[in-house]
Amino acid sequence: KLKPMPKDFLWGASTSAYQVEGANLTHGKGPSVQDIKKVPEGTSELDVCADFYHHYKEDIALMAEMGFKTFRFSVAWSRILPEGTGAVNQEGIDFYNNVIDECLKYNIEPLVTMFHFDLPAALEKKGGWSRRESVDEFVNFAKILYENYGDRVKYWLTINEQNVLTLNGEVIGTCDLKGVDNKYKKLYQENHHMLLAQAKAMALCHEMVPGGKIGPAPNISLVYPASCKPKDVLAAQNLNAIRNWLYLDMAVFGRYNNLVWAFLEEHDATPVIEDGDMDIMASAHPDFIGFNYYSTATVEWNDGTEPAGRGDQQISGDEPGVFKAYPNPNLLRTEFGWEIDPDGFRATMREIYSRYHLPMIVTENGLGAYDKLTEDGKVHDQYRIEYLRKHIEQIKLACSEGVEMMGYCPWSAIDLVSTHEGVVKRYGFIYVNRDEFDLKDLARYKKDSFYWYKKVIETNGED
């Protein structure tokens, strides 16, 4: 039997700085890795995006009209610190002050992601996360955020989808592996630095922000075995460890997952760990777990005879001797080929909760589609309503089963730029009138899902 949703459930939605703001090289902002990458063919540059930088008041007013209790957005590191360290760009500080104040004006709790795929290019040029210094650079950035916003921002997220950064960085434009001999060695050393930076930032939040709550935000997709063949089950355990549990085991327990460690040893890729690193990680604790969920992943055993290939966004490449991507024949797919699995969402929530026993907030979930604006300014996105409704149903079921869910922030509050598939891949409740290369007037239109989500929030999930 369904129990009512928690009274203070945080309904909202998400964006990220480099995908929504525009003004990417103006107003004192330094370039990030996203601004120096070559954009995928057929997609536009990041100079305008949804132009949230100039429309934030109008956009937050629309979020308030939907009844948002929270708004998840990220802070662009190189807007605050154009060089990644050193001089602060006051205009950048002011911009996020304004965004935060605008949220608070409508009683919307800001949920701030510190780092969402946009390392300052100046740091990348020096070697980015592969250098030990990156840990202190991130902590310094976190300190500036707490100093400036800690009086008003209670909820913080450290690193968006650190697992995707490690497993799929080339696709999302955060790393270039050309000429790298042992990619695992490089990626998992960077990963170690990020984990350490995260642990230190969590501890610092507890020191500096009164009542502050902080958590990680990996992308968690429960991994299914393709069959009940025992070897397929082993393959699923392998990918679950590599893709999912490594990140949460580290954030919550500060412990490397043993299956991952064995995998790294096998590839001569165990990270350099300095004295004291593991203590720092074991003593820092998140207050909650944020996670992005789009779908599950399905794998079968890989006997090692086939070379590594690339799976889809959730699977991120096959590993000989470890697992092989398997298209799940039981699931429908979006227009962009992503599997749709609401039941798997509940399975994922159950599994995370049974492993970590922490409250959880869904920091992303959603459907990318080619929406059409009608002549009379409507967007009939019934497919999105259906997708979201089915996922919300699963949250209700999970809550009724005793899983502690704090909130739901689908991707995305407003149309923005996809990681690699352009602005025509839309996720928002609010339509932004532009095409890939024709900026039109950037006017905002309420999609059908806007009115539907407003009712969902009004009734605390009853719709």
Q: Which residues bind ligand BGP (CB under 6 A)?
A: 16, 19, 160-161, 164, 219, 292, 364, 368, 411, 418-421, 425
- CB 300: neighbour CB atoms within 10 A? 19
Is the Cβ–Cβ distance between 144 and 78 less than 8 Å? Answer: no
| Nearest distance from C-beta of residue 363 to ligand BGP, angstroms | 8
Q: How far is CA 179 from the centre of its chain?
A: 28
| Residue written as token pair 């996203």 | 34
- The active-site residue out of 102, 124, 161, 190 is 161
**Catalytic residue check, 102:** no
- CB 103: neighbour CB atoms within 10 A? 24
* Cα Rg of the chain, angstroms: 21
| Nearest distance from C-beta of residue 168 to ligand BGP, angstroms | 8
CA distance 19 to 74: 10
Residue whose CB is less far from ligand BGP, 162 or 302: 162
> Residue 249: helix, strand or coil by DSSP?
helix
| Nearest distance from C-beta of residue 295 to ligand BGP, angstroms | 11
Cβ-proximal residues to 392 (8 Å cutoff; 6+ apart), any chain: 408, 456, 461
HEC letters along 152-214: CCCEEEEEECHHHHHHHHHHHCCCCCCCCCCHHHHHHHHHHHHHHHHHHHHHHHHHHCCCCEE
Write the DSSP symbol of residue 295: -
HEC letters along 361-427: EEEECCCCECCCCCCCCCCCCHHHHHHHHHHHHHHHHHHHCCCCEEEECCECCECCCCCCCCCCCEC
Residue whose CB is less far from ligand BGP, 37 or 425: 425
| Nearest distance from C-beta of residue 417 to ligand BGP, angstroms | 8
Write the DSSP symbol of residue 270: P
| Nearest distance from C-beta of residue 15 to ligand BGP, angstroms | 9
Residue whose CB is less far from ligand BGP, 160 or 394: 160
- The active-site residue out of 102, 124, 339, 364 is 364
Residue whose CB is less far from ligand BGP, 167 or 197: 167
Residue whose CB is less far from ligand BGP, 257 or 365: 365
**Catalytic residue check, 45:** no
Residue whose CB is less far from ligand BGP, 18 or 326: 18
Listed residue (187, 194, 48) closest to 135, CA to CA: 194
The CA dihedral of 229, 232, 234, 240, to the nearest 10 degrees, is -140
| Nearest distance from C-beta of residue 155 to ligand BGP, angstroms | 17
Residue 60, burial from CB neighbour count under 10 angstroms (0-12, 13-18, 19+) = buried
Residue whose CB is less far from ligand BGP, 301 or 429: 429
| Nearest distance from C-beta of residue 425 to ligand BGP, angstroms | 5
The CA dihedral of 413, 414, 417, 418, to the nearest 10 degrees, is 40
Residue whose CB is less far from ligand BGP, 39 or 280: 39
The CA dihedral of 142, 146, 148, 150, to the nearest 10 degrees, is 150
Structure tokens at 42: 């057929």
- Give φ, ψ of 235 to 5 degrees: -60, -40
| Nearest distance from C-beta of residue 301 to ligand BGP, angstroms | 27
Instruction: Count how many residues are written for the chain.
Output: 463
Residue nearest to ligand BGP (CB): 418
Give the residue numbers annotated as catalytic, written as ranges. 161, 364
